[in-house]
């Protein structure tokens, strides 16, 4: 019989140390696999765009930091409701959890539509604000505009996935995410390239294609995200044993629920805005270095994802575990699980960091045929490899604190490390040693950030406190 780890937590069962470690590992595996598959599909995606040349790659790279900023702010709104779902389920108040699901979905839809309208209105000016040249401005604007139109469905997908995970169902969102990645690759293959013929075993095979280039890459992502968003809603509202819609008295959207969501979401939103603006500023620092550096920067960020995505998988499991443990009133267990998850993340990402250092040239060669971009990208990846263990501390630590509803502390840490360390150093080093200086600043920033998270987890174990009561 399959063991329900979350039920053990909710029922107050005694969980030995070995079993705690097993819980984290077993819950992290599907999320890690999903994250790694996502990055592999991004490799294929970027590789397709890379075959179009450095200019289209640079166009997407130019606005990618802004898409992270927008996505991060939307994620903050989702977090405000997702954490409450975990706490309510942990306290065995399933009716309240279902009410929060409905209120949260309506709230994020209204918010994301508003943000999407704003993004569309600035899409034509954005490339020039980021110091992009005329050669890439049109493609960059098109990519960002399509992203904006797809944002509401992407935000709904993100929220539904988080709610399923916080209910203890980590496997379904992971599987859907993997399917979405494959769908994205198929759609990109059909939309980016024109119709063409290839020779297979001496036979000419006609392949369909729309030949839309950068716009095709954006459309492929938008369509796949939309399909997965609708699927997430189906599993959340129809199939979830705990959260599915049912005939019951609907609880009103209370001021307490709203204030709790705001209390959790606002620091996360500020953090994401701080980090996102930092990424945008970093792009502005890289842009004057030329299209080669801009493309190498974009490809290297994608390549690094294979290294740090396991950390995000463990962080997802940690958020659900900590949230339900605190909801069940098991503060000591939450604290132990937080440390175990952080240690596991650091161990896993030490290994992936070593692999990234060794195979950096091969990773870049998959993404682009340009030897100059390959060489520059491999050199900056090897700089970043040394920061991966501390990167894990910050990634998983953030998941731990969010599960507790403590989002202010991580926001302060990220602000200090991003703006006082990364941007300051990058601004000084980029004119002197180019893109390598930007990534050296990133490496130092991540090490400082990870150390601050570990210190805070040790000195102020916020996992022992409930976010609301």
What separation, in Å, do the N-terminal and C-terminal C-alpha atoms of the chain show?
35
233-245 residue pLDDT tens: 999 999 998 899 8
Q: What is the pLDDT of residue 461?
A: 59
Mean pLDDT, the chain, rounded, equals 84
Name the more confident of 94 and 11. Answer: 94
**CA separation for the pair 148, 143 (Å, rounded):** 9
Nearest Cα neighbor of 147 from 48, 233, 59, 232 is: 59
Question: Which burial class, exposed, middle or buried, applies to 234 when counting CB atoms under 10 A from its CB (0-12, 13-18, 19+)?
Answer: middle
The beta-carbon contacts of 436-442 under 8 Å, at least 24 apart in sequence, are 436/379, 436/380, 436/383, 438/282, 438/285, 438/286, 438/297, 438/380, 439/300, 439/380, 439/383, 439/384, 440/383, 442/282, 442/384, 442/387
How is residue 361 written in tokens?
């040239």
Nearest Cα neighbor of 168 from 341, 362, 317, 347 is: 317
Nearest Cα neighbor of 84 from 96, 70, 71 is: 96
**CA separation for the pair 418, 412 (Å, rounded):** 10
43-54 residue pLDDT tens: 666 677 777 777
- Most distant CA pair in the chain: distance in Å? 70
CA distances from 70 to 65, 88, 148, 340, 462 (A): 9, 28, 9, 32, 28
Could you tell me the pLDDT band of residue 174, with boundaries at 50, 70 and 90?
Answer: confident
Determine the Cα angle at 50 with ends 49 and 53, to 5°. Answer: 105
Q: Taking the domains of the chain in order of start, what are their residue ranges?
A: 14-464
- Judge contact between 402 and 317, C-beta under 8 A: no
Q: What is the pLDDT of residue 465?
A: 44
The pTM assigned to this predicted structure is 0.73
CA distances from 243 to 165, 166, 234 (A): 11, 11, 11
- Judge contact between 242 and 167, C-beta under 8 A: yes
**CA separation for the pair 135, 141 (Å, rounded):** 12
355-397 residue pLDDT tens: 999 999 998 888 788 889 999 999 999 999 999 999 999 999 9
Range with lowest mean pLDDT among 27-41, 49-63, 146-160, 308-322: 27-41
Q: Is the pLDDT of residue 288 over 90?
A: no
Could you tell me the pLDDT band of residue 421, with boundaries at 50, 70 and 90?
Answer: very high
């Amino acid at each position: 019989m399959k063991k329900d780890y979350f039920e053990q937590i909710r029922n107050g069962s005694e969980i030995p140390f070995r079993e705690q470690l097993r819980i984290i590992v077993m819950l992290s595996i599907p999320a890690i696999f999903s994250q790694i598959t996502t990055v592999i599909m991004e490799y294929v995606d970027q590789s397709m765009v890379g075959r179009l040349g450095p200019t289209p790659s640079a166009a997407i790279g130019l606005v990618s930091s802004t898409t992270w900023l927008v996505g991060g702010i939307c994620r903050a709104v989702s977090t405000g409701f997702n954490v409450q779902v975990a706490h309510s389920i942990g306290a065995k108040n399933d009716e309240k959890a279902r009410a929060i699901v409905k209120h949260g979905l309506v709230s994020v839809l209204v918010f994301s539509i508003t943000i999407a309208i704003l993004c569309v209105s600035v899409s034509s000016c954005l490339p020039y604000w980021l110091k992009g040249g005329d050669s890439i401005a049109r493609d960059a604007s098109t990519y960002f505009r399509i992203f904006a139109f797809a944002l509401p469905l992407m935000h709904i997908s993100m929220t539904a996935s988080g709610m399923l995970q916080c209910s203890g169902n980590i496997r379904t969102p992971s599987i859907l995410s993997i399917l979405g990645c494959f769908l994205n690759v198929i759609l990109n293959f059909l939309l980016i390239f024109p119709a063409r013929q290839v020779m297979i075993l001496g036979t000419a095979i006609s392949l369909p294609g729309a030949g839309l280039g950068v716009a095709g890459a954006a459309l492929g992502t938008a369509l796949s995200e939309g399909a997965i968003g609708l699927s997430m809603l189906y599993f959340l509202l129809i199939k979830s044993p705990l959260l599915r819609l049912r005939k019951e008295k609907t609880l009103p959207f209370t001021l307490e629920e709203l204030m709790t969501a705001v209390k959790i979401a606002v620091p996360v939103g500020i953090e994401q805005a701080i980090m996102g603006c930092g990424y945008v500023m970093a792009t502005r620092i890289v842009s004057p270095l030329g299209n080669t550096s801009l493309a190498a920067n974009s490809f290297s960020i994608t390549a690094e994802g294979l290294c740090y995505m396991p950390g995000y998988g463990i962080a997802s499991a940690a958020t659900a575990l900590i949230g339900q443990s605190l909801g069940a009133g098991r503060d000591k267990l939450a604290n132990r699980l937080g440390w175990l998850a952080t240690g596991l993340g650091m161990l896993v990402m030490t290994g992936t960091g070593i692999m990234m250092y060794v195979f950096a040239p091969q990773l870049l060669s998959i993404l682009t045929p340009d030897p100059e971009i390959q060489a520059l990208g491999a050199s900056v990846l090897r700089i970043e490899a040394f920061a991966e263990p501390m990167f894990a501390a910050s990634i998983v630590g953030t998941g731990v604190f969010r599960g507790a509803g403590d989002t202010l502390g991580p926001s302060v840490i990220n602000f200090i490390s991003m703006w006082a360390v990364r941007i300051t150093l990058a601004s000084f080093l980029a004119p002197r040693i180019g893109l390598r200086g930007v990534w050296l600043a990133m490496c130092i920033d991540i090490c400082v950030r990870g150390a601050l998270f570990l210190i805070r987890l040790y000195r102020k174990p916020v996992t022992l406190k409930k976010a609301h009561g």
